[in-house]
Amino acid sequence: MAIRRRLYRETIDGTRLAVSELLRRLPAETGSLIGGRVCAPVALRRHHDRPYAAQMTRTLRRIAPHLADDTFLARWYVNAGRTMGELPALHRLASPSKSRVLGLENIAAAKATGRPVIMTAVHVGNWEVVPLVGSRQIWAHCIGPWQPQSNRWDNRLIAQARRRSGYKALPPSPNLVRTLSRYLAVPGQSLIFFIDEISEGTVKFPLFGRPAPVRCNLSFALKLAVRRGALVVPVTARRLGGTQHELVVHPPVDITTLGGDPVEAGAVRLNELYEPFVRANLDQWYMLNRLTLEGQP
């Protein structure tokens, strides 16, 4: 039985690898269409009774009751499917014709200070365009931490896409804090953090009425900003349609000037930007399926 399962798994992985290599050589629209129009409806039918689908519906009833229906779930799956389908040809989304960037003057202003920069982002649209475009149009050679997926195939696909884009993603390790702090000590270096990752079984950001979190990428990034005197530059990205994305680089924030505890104040300031953005794009927010608000007022 174990041998049979292994052969089945290797066959599936081999098939996915072959499909990925084919899509890498084709326009990004091809994989995006397959993911959105073919894979998404299949996933919706197969997963509609999974616990995370029910969790999304419960969460929507709390934060956006007018969206808690099957049409919303269908749109959510379409964006997720498009994103996965685009990964093999992710490098093709870096061009200005695919990813429009607004607010470049804000990153220029941050650079002009000579201080290190920490960029922040959330998982909206195809979130991988943020480090991709960051490495190509905003700031060369983006570096940041990442949370490995449970599926080894997904890890391999994402790692390959990031490597081709020039984004260096560092997995968790005992030396991660020291490594990232050392990177920030290099003149002209920047880091990027996705601040809505899963931590302790849930998504802690945006806040949605909850207190500022203590243990997550958000607090990690803000503590690092205080330690290294870095400016925090929020970046948002959303899918405009098809493979077209719009990225906005927002004005830099010096969290040490906000008053009070800079980490808590920085979390509140970033939430003022990101929570309305996420609420306006819930059908593109990938982490909605892991947000739990039960027990919150």
Instruction: Say if 200 falls within a structural domain.
Output: yes
> Global pTM?
0.90
Model pLDDT for residues 16-55, shown as the tens digit of each residue: 666 666 677 778 898 888 988 988 888 888 877 788 888 8
d(CA 171, CA 183) in angstroms, rounded, equals: 15
Residue 35: inside a domain:
yes
Backbone φ and ψ of 243, nearest 5°: -100, 5
Asked if 283 contacts 79 with a C-beta cutoff of 8 angstroms, the reply is: yes
- Tell whether omega for the bond before 206 is within 30 degrees of 0, i.e. cis: yes
Mean pLDDT, the chain, rounded, equals: 85
In a domain, 295, yes or no: no
Q: How large is the average pLDDT for residues 167-179?
A: 78
Output the six-digit token pair for 221.
Answer: 């990034």
pLDDT per position as a tens digit, 237-253: 999 999 999 999 999 99
Q: How many CB atoms lie within 10 A of CB 294?
A: 9
- Does residue 163 carry a pLDDT above 60? yes
pLDDT of 287 > 90? The answer is yes
Token pair, residue 284, equals: 């593109």
Sign of the Cα pseudo-torsion (218, 222, 227, 233, in order): positive
C-beta of residue 209 within 8 angstroms of C-beta of residue 297: yes
> Would you state the pLDDT for residue 151?
65
Note whether residue 226 is domain-resident: yes
- Give 80's pLDDT tier (boundaries 50, 70, 90): very high
Contact 20, 256 (CB under 8 A): no
* pLDDT tens digits, 67-77: 888 899 999 99
Which structural domain, as residue segments, surrounds residue 87?
A: 2-290
CA–CA distance, 13 with 25 (Å, rounded to integer): 19
pLDDT score at 226: 94
Specify if 151 maps to a domain.
yes
Instruction: Tell whether the model's pLDDT for residue 11 goes beyond 60.
Output: no
The answer to the question of residue 116 being in a domain is: yes
Whole-number pLDDT of residue 276: 98
Q: Is 193 within the bounds of a domain?
A: yes
pLDDT in tens, 189-219: 788 999 999 888 889 999 999 999 888 999 9
pLDDT for position 221: 94
pLDDT for res 252: 96
Whether residue 113 is contained in a domain is answered as yes
Determine the pLDDT at residue 12.
56
pLDDT tens-place string over residues 91-129: 888 888 889 999 999 998 998 998 999 999 999 999 999
Distances (CA, A) of 267 to 180, 195, 216, 253, 261: 20, 10, 11, 11, 10
The single residue listed with the structure tokens 């992710």 is 90
User: Which residues 6+ apart lie within 8 Å of 74 measured at CB?
Assistant: 40, 41, 44
**How many domains, in total, are found in the chain?**
1
Residue type, 256: T
With bands split at pLDDT 50, 70 and 90, how would you rate the model's confidence at 297?
A: very low
User: What pLDDT is recorded for position 248?
Assistant: 96
Coil/strand/helix, residue 285: strand
pLDDT at position 139 over 80: no
| Model confidence at 295: pLDDT above 60 | no
Q: Which residue has the higher pLDDT, 137 or 279?
A: 279
